[in-house]
């Protein structure tokens, strides 16, 4: 099949690109490199010994994205491109709505013009908001608590309407839990531009000596050790979920939301200990106040992914930490190193 990846050079995009190329699909990556590096694409090409098309472009460029889609004529689009920092979305909400919502409208208009009727969308468990029950299943009410989460929810609604309007259209909404880790080669991985917001990249930068210590945001939650619990998922498992979703989109119509998680949580201190064991490095930390907006614990009910996609996670926390460390150790300054 012909697969078009928006944001294909980013963290999840590059791992999915590698997976999709190993399935012998023809690929076009559309990326503006605003939070990613062309070097990631060069490394994927080297690792897979495959070439693919690359178009440098912004999803807000309506004519540019339309032309790229009309030229490539994809069977399926996988849409990663978007902004993803919660704090930034609270400071700059309009930028988030413009990029994530308007960008998706341009993409869908371009797909209509190119005759492409199938999309796999990077959604997030953040659409659920404060848990009314756990684990979250896909029917859990959606109540995002910040503009970033609202953009994911709004795009889900738009895709639902796009599918209702045309019985030939297909949208698979993958609701990611907490993706971490890196490809086993250590050649591609997560490369935050700034101070990392998320736990795992911060822990790896502490272990490699780039930062002095981790701040643990609260140890008085109602969890076993008092620290926050999340459903971490290895990025290679996540990439495989995309490959399965592409296969599903090929043979089904309509809009389906699917959780992509392991179904079990780990606490911040469990992650710290697992990382120390995997890296052999100390990860000093101090406990500070809770981060505003954080939830004590959440994790997925992953049954639907197994039933519809035949997919489930295969890699555990030790493997997530080992691969994140391998990437960090080989690339202490990320792709710039
Ligand atoms: C965050 C976002 C979420 C987004 C996801 C992307 C918030 C409130 N939520 O999720 O919307 O979809 O990233 O991956 O930002 N922690 C520390 N110290 C740190 C960093 C994190 O103790 O320096 C703790 C947090 O309090 C939390 C856990 O580690 O308990 C995981 O945090 P993080 O990696 O930021 O993910 P989420 O908050 O789950």
Is any atom of ligand 1 closer than 6 Å to the C-beta of 177? no
Q: How many angstroms separate the alpha carbon of residue 175 from the centre of ligand 1?
A: 16
Q: Respond yes or no: is residue 148 known to be catalytic.
A: yes
For the record, the structure tokens of 6 come out as 């928006």
* Minimal-distance CA residue to ligand 1 atom 9: 86
Is any atom of ligand 1 closer than 6 Å to the C-beta of 267? no
For the record, the structure tokens of 260 come out as 């992509």
d(CA 138, CA 128): 9
Is any atom of ligand 1 closer than 6 Å to the C-beta of 124? yes
d(CA 172, CA 254): 8
Q: Which of 148, 153, 176, 299 is catalytic?
A: 148
d(CA 141, CA 158): 17
What's the Cα-to-Cα distance from 96 to each of 51, 92, 93, rounded to whole Å? Answer: 32, 7, 5
d(CA 160, CA 164): 6
The CATH number of the structural domain formed by 2-181+232-263 is 3.40.50.720
d(CA 336, CA 86): 25
Is any atom of ligand 1 closer than 6 Å to the C-beta of 268? yes
The predicted structure's pLDDT at residue 122:
98
- Asked if residue 135 has a cis previous peptide bond (ω within 30° of 0), the answer is yes
Q: Which of 230, 238, 270 to mutate to test the pocket of ligand 1 (most atoms within 8 A of CB)?
A: 230
DSSP per-residue letters across 2-65: EEEEETTTSHHHHHHHHHHHHTT-EEEEEE--SSS-HHHHHHHHHHHT---EEEE--TT-HHHH
Is any atom of ligand 1 closer than 6 Å to the C-beta of 153? no
The predicted structure's pLDDT at residue 336:
85
Q: How many angstroms separate the alpha carbon of residue 217 from the centre of ligand 1?
A: 9
Question: Where does residue 73 fall: left (phi above 0), alpha (psi -120 to 50 degrees), or beta otherwise?
Answer: left
For the record, the structure tokens of 237 come out as 């498992």
d(CA 113, CA 54): 20
Is residue 172 within 8 Å of residue 152, measured between CB atoms? no
Domain with CATH 3.90.25.10 in the chain: 199-230+264-300+316-336
The predicted structure's pLDDT at residue 230:
98
Element (H, E) at 120: strand 118-124
d(CA 261, CA 247): 19
Domain with CATH 3.40.50.720 in the chain: 2-181+232-263
Is any atom of ligand 1 closer than 6 Å to the C-beta of 29? no
Is any atom of ligand 1 closer than 6 Å to the C-beta of 225? no
Digit-coded pLDDT (tens) for 188-205: 999 988 889 899 999 999
Is any atom of ligand 1 closer than 6 Å to the C-beta of 145? no
d(CA 2, CA 75): 5
* Minimal-distance CA residue to ligand 1 atom 34: 198
Ligand 1 atom closest to Cα of residue 203: 23
| Topology classification of domain 199-230+264-300+316-336 | UDP-galactose 4-epimerase; domain 1 (3.90.25)
The predicted structure's pLDDT at residue 290:
96
Q: Which of 10, 12, 80, 86 to mutate to test the pocket of ligand 1 (most atoms within 8 A of CB)?
A: 86
Q: How many angstroms separate the alpha carbon of residue 115 from the centre of ligand 1?
A: 38
d(CA 98, CA 105): 10
Task: Write out residues in the chain with pLDDT < 70, as ranges.
Answer: 337
Phi, psi of 120 (to 5 degrees): -115, 125
């Amino acid at each position: 099949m012909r697969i078009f990846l928006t944001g294909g050079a980013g963290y999840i995009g590059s791992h999915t690109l590698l997976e999709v190329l190993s399935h012998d699909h023809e690929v076009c990556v559309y990326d503006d490199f605003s939070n990613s590096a062309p070097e990631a694409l060069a490394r994927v090409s080297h690792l897979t010994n495959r070439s693919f098309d690359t178009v440098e472009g912004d999803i807000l460029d309506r004519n540019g994205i339309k032309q790229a889609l009309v030229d490539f004529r994809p069977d399926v689009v996988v849409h990663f491109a978007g902004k993803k920092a919660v704090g930034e979305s609270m400071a700059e909400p309009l930028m988030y709505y413009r990029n994530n919502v308007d960008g998706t409208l341009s993409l869908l208009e371009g797909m209509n013009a190119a005759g492409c009727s199938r999309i796999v969308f990077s959604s997030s468990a953040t659409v659920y908001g404060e848990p009314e029950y756990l684990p979250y299943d896909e029917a859990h009410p959606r109540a995002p608590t910040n503009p970033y989460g609202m953009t994911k929810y709004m795009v889900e609604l738009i895709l639902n309407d796009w599918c209702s309007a045309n019985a030939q259209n297909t949208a698979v909404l993958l609701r990611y839990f907490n993706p971490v880790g890196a490809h086993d080669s250590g050649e591609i991985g997560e490369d935050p531009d700034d101070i990392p917001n998320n736990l795992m990249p911060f822990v790896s930068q502490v272990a490699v000596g780039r930062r002095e210590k981790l701040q643990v945001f609260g140890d008085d939650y109602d969890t076993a050790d008092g620290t926050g619990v999340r459903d971490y998922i290895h990025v290679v498992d996540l990439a495989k979920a995309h490959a399965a979703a592409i296969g599903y989109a090929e043979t089904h119509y309509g809009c389906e939301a699917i959780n992509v998680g392991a179904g079990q949580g780990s606490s911040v201190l469990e992650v710290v200990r697992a990382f120390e064991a995997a890296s052999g490095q100390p990860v000093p930390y101090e406990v500070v106040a809770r981060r505003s907006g954080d939830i004590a614990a959440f994790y997925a009910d992953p049954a639907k992914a197994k039933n519809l996609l035949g997919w489930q996670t295969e890699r555990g926390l030790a493997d997530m930490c080992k691969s994140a460390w391998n990437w960090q150790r080989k690339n202490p300054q990320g792709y710039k190193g």
